[in-house]
Each structure stands twice: as C-alpha cells, then as structure tokens.
C-alpha cells in the first residue's frame, strides 16, 4: 500500500468525530475552517456550534449587524477574519444567490479565503481535486519524504503545494485531505509524534534517519515588538468612555481610551507624561485602582497592558462616547479587554 492509501486507511480507523466532519454544507465547512485557523479543535467547537445556532444559514450571517458578528467571535482574536466572514457572506448572498460557487477560482476570489481554505471548501464540500496545504500537511510531508527546504520561503511553498497535489487521491479528495490533516494533528504531532505506532514508520525518512525533531524547517524568525499600553476605564456619572476602533487588527471592536509608550513606565511616570496631561487637563479625576500587568501575545507583538480605574468629572474625549456602565459587557471587545473584564465586578 502506498503513502496515500495508508493514510486514508489510518484515517478510517482513527479519525475524531467532529461536528464539521458530518456535513458537506460549504457554509458550515467554511465557518469551521476560518474558526480553526484561530484556535484548536477543542476551543473552536463551541464557537462553531454557537455561530450555527445564531446564524443557521449564510443569509442569517449576511443580514446580521457587524457588532453581533464580532461579539460572537469575541475571544478568537484576529477580528479581520470575522469581518471578512461577514463581508463574504453578504457577497455570496448578493452575487451568488446565497450559494457557494462550485468553482475553485471563484471561491479563491472571495475575501478572506486563501489557497488553503479554497482547497478545503471545494474538496470537503464538492469533492473537487484540490490538495490542502496547512501546517499539519507540511509537517507530515516534510518528515515522511524528508523535505528540508524551509516551508516559509516561496520555493518551499511551491514544493509542498506540488508534492501535496501529486499525492492527492483525486477521486477521494475530501477524505484524503481530511486524512492528512488529521494525521498531522493527532499522529505526526509537532512534539512527541507517535512514531512507535505509526503506519509510515518503515519508509518515513525523518524516522529512519533519526531527524524527526529537525523537520519541518522554518527560515524566518519573527521579530516580536513589545508594546506598553495603559487602558483608562474612566467612569463619569455612571457612564464609561468607550470608542470603536477604526484601524488595525481590532477594527470594529470597542476599547477604552488608552496611552501607549515604547518602554515600561511606572504609575507615577505615566501620570507625569504629556499623553496623560492631554487627556486630563482641566478635569477633576481620581485614580481608584491600577491593575497588574496583562500580557497578550499576538503574532508580531507582545502587549503589556494595565487597566486604570478612574472616576472623573467634566471630562470630554472627542473620539469616545459615554455609554452606560451596565451595558459595557454587551460590546464586542478584544480578548485582552475580555481577560480584564473577567477580573472585575461592575458596581
Ligand atoms: S514515523 Fe513519526 S515522524 Fe514519521 S510520519 Fe510517523 S509519526 Fe510522523
């Protein structure tokens, strides 16, 4: 039996029962794929089920207000994915009669859908012969076939795409693609792969040459930038200042006014800064508390955040509106702000 057939046979005996495996509905598959780009299967499942409960059809998602979609997405991060999901749902309803196009190139042109997701949707839903290439697939192929070219270079991307397409069982594209991804997720795992019980053991180059830990190879190291942000939870007569973000990864989400610095400052230094004076000049305020530091890691950034609880009078902040404190938890916010909310009680 060759690699591809072994893979499918392994899958039939070992696959997990996941809700998106029991459907060929492209909307469900698309939704699951976008959620799973953000999170692990276990954490993703409740989001998937909740989304389908609130937006059972693509029309329901298209017709929903953006705030509601973002609120449902809250906690998953990368909110541009939720905004693209919403945009594309409207696009499909307005331009494709509410049906996902059964055409790889048309699917690929939809906003927020790249080569991987287009292959996943068209193969899982329509059994079309497009091989998926994600992190799991790259790991399996690089180990089994000893591919040591860095996967994050353009030559590496081409190589893995080519090899995947060559190995795809075209008449069983859906099952083959699911099999290789599942194999990477639970058998050929990044750390401690189950080599001792692996059906590929005899011909796996990484295993036979004792180089499992060295594969796959990555070239770039991402430089992580430290950011120091002080969020100001300012209460004024029972209301709180909140603004809707207009740019960046948190576009569309709500946030407190904030001060950002390049370096770590203590509370006294923050209150002596020009940025602080610009906000509180001519107003009366009292700092009630300052939270300890919350660390929030994004792909290129490490955010060090502190939340200040402040009572103020006569404060006017142009870019922010005053909302009732009791409705604060109804607004979609970043996972970072949500983590802070989990530590406080509104009184
Ligand atoms: S033998 Fe080990 S490294 Fe090779 S495919 Fe199996 S689990 Fe992966």
Backbone torsions φ then ψ of 193, nearest 5 degrees = -65, 155
Mutate to test the pocket of ligand 1, among 144, 147, 192, 215 (most ligand atoms within 8 A of CB): 144
Fold matches, 3-214 and 225-341: no
CA–centroid distance, 45 to ligand 1, in Å, is: 27
The ligand 1 atom nearest the CA atom of 194: 7
Please list the alpha-helical segments (H only) found in the chain. Answer: 3-14, 26-36, 41-54, 58-63, 66-73, 79-95, 104-109, 115-126, 135-144, 154-167, 173-186, 205-208, 267-271, 274-280, 335-341
Instruction: List the domain boundaries for the chain.
Output: 3-214, 225-341
Domain 3-214 has CATH 1.10.340.30: yes
Q: How many Å lie between the centroid of ligand 1 and the Cα of residue 314?
A: 65
Ranges of the chain whose pLDDT falls below 50: none
Which of 7, 135, 143 for mutating ligand 1's site (highest number of atoms within 8 Å of CB)?
Answer: 143
pLDDT at 247: 84
Q: Which two tokens stand for residue 119?
A: 């292959």
Cβ of 216 less than 6 Å from ligand 1: no
pLDDT in the model for residue 346 = 67
User: Is 33 annotated as catalytic?
Assistant: yes
235 and 242 in contact (C-beta within 8 Å)? Answer: no
DSSP class of 231: E
Q: Does the C-beta of 240 come closer than 6 Å to ligand 1?
A: no
Distance between CA atoms of residues 249 and 299, nearest Å? 11
| Residues in CB range of 92: below 8 A, 6 or more apart | 58, 62, 98, 99, 100, 110
How many angstroms separate the alpha carbon of residue 149 from the centre of ligand 1?
18
DSSP state of 333: B
Which CATH number fits the domain 225-341, given the four candidates 3.40.50.300, 3.90.79.10, 3.40.50.1000, 3.40.50.620?
3.90.79.10
The backbone torsions φ and ψ at residue 287, rounded to the nearest 5 degrees and listed phi first, read: -80, 120
Tokens 């060929």 belong to 24
């Amino acid at each position: 039996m060759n690699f591809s057939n072994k893979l499918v046979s392994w899958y039939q005996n070992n696959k997990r029962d996941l809700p998106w495996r029991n459907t060929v509905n492209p909307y469900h598959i698309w939704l699951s794929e976008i959620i799973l780009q953000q999170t692990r299967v276990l954490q993703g499942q409740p989001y998937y089920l909740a989304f389908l409960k609130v937006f059972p059809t693509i029309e329901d998602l298209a017709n929903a207000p953006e705030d509601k979609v973002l609120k449902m997405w809250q906690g998953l991060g990368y909110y541009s994915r939720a905004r693209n999901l919403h945009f594309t749902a409207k696009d499909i309803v307005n331009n494709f009669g509410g049906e996902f196009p059964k055409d790889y190139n048309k699917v690929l042109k939809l906003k927020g859908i790249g080569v991987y997701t287009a292959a996943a949707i068209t193969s899982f839903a329509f059994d079309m012969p497009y091989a998926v290439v994600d992190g799991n697939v790259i790991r399996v192929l690089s180990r089994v076939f000893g591919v040591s070219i860095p996967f994050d270079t353009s030559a590496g991307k081409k190589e893995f795409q080519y090899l995947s397409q060559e190995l795809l069982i075209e008449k069983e594209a859906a099952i083959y693609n699911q099999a290789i991804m599942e194999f990477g997720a639970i058998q050929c795992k990044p750390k401690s792969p189950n080599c001792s019980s692996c059906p590929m053991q005899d011909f796996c180059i990484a295993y036979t040459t004792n180089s499992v830990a060295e594969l796959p190879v990555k070239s770039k190291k991402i430089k992580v930038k430290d950011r120091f942000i002080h969020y100001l939870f300012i209460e004024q007569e029972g209301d709180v200042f909140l603004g809707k973000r207009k740019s960046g990864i948190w576009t569309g989400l709500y946030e407190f006014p904030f001060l950002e610095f390049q370096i770590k400052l203590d509370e006294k230094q923050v209150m002596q800064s020009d940025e602080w004076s610009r906000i509180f000049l001519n107003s009366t305020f009292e700092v009630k508390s300052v939270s300890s530091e919350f660390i929030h890691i994004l792909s290129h950034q490490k955010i060090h955040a502190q939340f200040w609880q402040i009572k103020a009078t006569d404060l006017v902040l142009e870019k922010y509106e005053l909302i009732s404190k009791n409705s604060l938890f109804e607004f979609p916010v970043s996972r970072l702000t949500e983590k802070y909310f989990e530590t406080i009680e509104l009184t």
